[in-house]
Every structure is written in C-alpha cells, then in structure tokens.
Structure 1
C-alpha cells in the first residue's frame, strides 16, 4: 500500500454526523467540521425535549453519540489528542475514538505545522521509538534540521529524515540519525510517522498531499494498525 492509497482508504471511510437540536442550535457545527471528510445533517427536536446531541455513523452503522456542547468544545483549537484516552471523561473519549482517522479535506501549511509539532512532542516526551519524517522541499527540511539534530542527540529515538536530492544534509553527518534522499511518489507527501516500539499507545501519523500552493488534504491518525501501514508504505 502506498501513501496515496492510505489517503484513499481513509477518504472512503466517510462518516455521517447528525445533529439533533431545537431551533437553530448546532448550525455552526457544519462550519466547525468543514475541513473534515464528513456529511453533516440537522434534525430539529422540540425545545423542551432534551439537550442537543450529535450522532455519528459510518458504513458499519451507529458509532456513538455525544452532546453538542462537548463536541463543539472538542473542536475548538488547538485539538490535541491526550496521551491516555482512558484518563478522559467518557464523552470526550468517545469523540476522539469516533473522529480518529477522519480525512481533513483542506488545511493550510500553518495548521499542518501545528499538527506536526504535536506529533513530534509526543515522540520527544516518550524519548524512544522510531520517527520517520518526509520533507517536500529542501527549504522545509533546513528549517527543521536543528530540531531533529537536537532530538536525535537528546533521546533514544531512531530518527529517519527523507529529503529531496538537492537538499544539503552534510551538516547532519555527525548526528545520530539517518538521512534518505527521496524522489518519485514520496516527494508528493508531507509525512511524520511515530512508532513507540512498545504497546502502540503512543503511535501516531500524519500524511498530507499538497493540492495547491498552501492547501493540503490528508489524514492524521493514532490507530497503531494504520500507523504500521504508513511505515510499510515508505520502507
């Protein structure tokens, strides 16, 4: 499986979100989910019947339900998945589990950088495992080179960076990490993959494909199986 087929598989797993709310409550949820590969519907309920809630379904049927208040609070940036889902309130845990692996259909470079930092911080905190990072340009790599040098020197993480052939990596020759020259399909993707080489609880991945000058589509996931598939696609 290639990185492209990972994106296609995630896009095919389209979820349907149904908001049950009185009046016009919940009309802003579609905007909050606009960057996701989701279909959002509204169903009006009597004002006195119940608090507004959201039902999430996929191709297999019902996946779960959460309150509209909890879902909107979760979607307020920054969205950071906690290290241990079991420590969360059940409603928030359900949201993370239900929306994991959902494709984002349009994000800009700034938003992707913020997501990348969250995944890098997760690896840094653990201090071991393997981290593979792909750069679409030599300039992008050079902006991050010192970070990966420091991480390689300060942790036991097996770090691999994938850089276009024209990138100058000689200043990393003495750093305890592996540099790969890439071309062909991999050059199309921004990716960061982390495997904790333990229980898999810390595994995470981001794979994004550039669509225009500053727009990307892709997926980030904390599913150990999908992370393993992403590693297999680049090795």
Structure 2
C-alpha cells in the first residue's frame, strides 16, 4: 500500500458549510465556495435573527460535530492570501493560525490547483506548527524536490526552526541538491521513485498524544494539480506512519 492507495481508500465525510447572516461582499462568498468546492462539501448561506453576522458553520453530517469560525478569520488566513505568504516566510511557523472550520474539513478528498492549492499548503503549515508546539515526536515531510528546502525561503525557515526543536524531522524527495547547513539535523530520505516524485505528505505522530496526531497526504495528478486529504484520526495517522516507517525508515 502506497501514498496513492491511502488517498483512494479514504471514506469521504459529507460536510456542509453555512454562512449565517452574510455581510461580506459577493466576491468573497464566491471565493469561499470556490475554495471548498467538492462533491462532499456543500456551501450555502442562511439568515438567523438570533445569530451574529458573518459566522461560518461547518457540520459533519456523519458525526453531527460542529465547527464555528468568523468569515474574516477565513478571509485573512485563506481567501485573501496566496502561497507566497509561506514560500517567502512572511508568516513564521510559530504564528500559523488555522480557523476551526478549515481544520475540520478533514477526511474529505480535495482535488486542487492554482489558488485552491493554498488549502493544502496551509494545512501543511498547520501540521508543522502543531509539531513545533509539541516540541517532540516525529514529523515526516515530503517535498517532491528536496531542493525546496533550500530554494523556498519560507520552507527553509520553517524547517530550520523544526530542526532546532525537539522534533525528530524526516524529509523526503528527489535528491541531486545542495543541502542547506541545517540538513545535518534532519533525517534525509532521497530517491527518484515515482512515489517520491509525485507525493506530498506531512505527518506528525503526536509524541504519544492522540490529540496531536495529524496527517496530510496528496499526490500530483497533473501539472500543479493535486489530489489528497488531511486527517486527525489516530487510526489513519498510524496506518500512514506505519507505511512510511516500513517503506523508508
């Protein structure tokens, strides 16, 4: 079983996103709808005289669980920014904030490209930030090209910070690069297999705490087009960890 098989095997949850008493402009609502566009995620708006304005609700139809965020939280962290925010290191890893509604879109398979790709980039930083906050355990991260650890300033800053922490960091990807100075504090798994060329994953074992376990797994299915999901389910995270440790570590 490989990374691709983990994506194929996930049982997508059906979720609904509802904007209550919307005051935000139409283009912002369309951006929200476009960002979360998915067969298993329905985006609607509604009026409730007893609720405040511009509240976004996410409901998991299987479990009934509910997450709540303000529209401006989602706008400022996702809709009105782009990947340069993290590529250039504008937001340090210690300052990554993820609205509850975004985090709880877990266990849903997304196919993303262009602007939507930022959804997966943000969740990657969320998991890296969770590992840093935990200051322990093991983090596995795939970059397709290991050179991103040197060439993307924001990525280099994030992993230099992680390398200096108590986290045991394993990085994966195609080699043929000039490692940065902090690479000697990482466990590097270089190769040229199709899986390493196409896979994007960030997985943290929680350092013994199930509430801090997280995984994102995705694969490139076309030029700059990815298919994948993220999860905080301990069983799924353990299965992915088991595969990585058996296959690579």
Alignment of 1:152-191 (within 5 A): 152=163, 154-164=164-174, 166-168=175-177, 175-182=184-191, 183-191=193-201
Question: Relative to structure 1, is the Cα distance of residues 77 and 209 closer, same or farther in structure 2, using a 3 angstrom cutoff?
Answer: farther
SS of aligned partner of 2:241: helix
The alpha-carbon deviation at position 188 of structure 1 amounts to 1.4
SS of the residue 2:207 aligns to: coil
1:220 aligned counterpart, secondary structure: strand
Number of the residue aligned with 1:228:
238
| Equivalent residue for 1:219, pick from 218, 221, 229 | 229
Tell me the matched-pair count.
217
1:120 aligns with 2:119: no
Residue number in structure 1 paired with 2:83? none
Give the SS at the match of 1:77.
helix
Counterpart Cα distance in 2 of 1:141 and 1:106: 22
Structure 2 stretches lacking a partner, 5+ long: 79-95
> What is the distance in 2 between the residues matched to 1:122 and 1:32?
25
| Contact kept? 2:60, 2:66, Cα under 8 Å | no
Q: What is residue 88 of structure 1 aligned with on the other side?
A: none
Counterpart Cα distance in 2 of 1:61 and 1:200? 19
Specify the structure having the higher radius of gyration (Cα): 1
User: Quick one: which of 212, 218, 236 aligns to 1:208?
Assistant: 218
Q: Which residue of 1 aligns with 2:75?
A: 76
TM-score by length of 2: 0.64
Q: Which moved more, 1:19-28 or 1:112-121?
A: 19-28
In the alignment, structure 1 residue 134 sits paired with structure 2 residue 138:
no
- CA distance in 2 between counterparts of 1:8 and 1:203 reads 21
Deviations 1:56-79 (A, max 9, x none): 55553744475xxx4524422326
> Is residue 81–residue 96 contact of structure 1 (8 Å, CA) maintained in 2?
no
Q: Is contact 1:18–1:42 with CA below 8 Å preserved after alignment? A: yes
Q: Could you tell me whether the CA contact under 8 Å between 2:216 and 2:229 is conserved in 1?
A: yes
- CA drift at 1:98: 4.5
2:43 is equivalent to residue 40 of structure 1: yes
State the Cα deviation string for residues 163-205 of structure 1 (Å, max 9, x = none): 22x4346777982432223313243111111123221332222
Identify which of 59, 62, 75 aligns with 1:60: 62
- What is the alpha-carbon distance in structure 2 between the residues aligned to residue 233 and residue 123 of structure 1? 20
Mapped contact 1:30–1:40 kept (Cα < 8 A)? no
Q: C-alpha displacement at 1:131, in angstroms?
A: 1.0
Describe how 1:5-44 pairs up with structure 2 within 5 A.
5-10=5-10, 12-17=12-17, 29=29, 31-36=31-36, 37=38, 38-42=41-45
Instruction: Give TM-score, length-normalised by structure 1.
Output: 0.67
Unaligned runs of 5+ in 1: 83-91
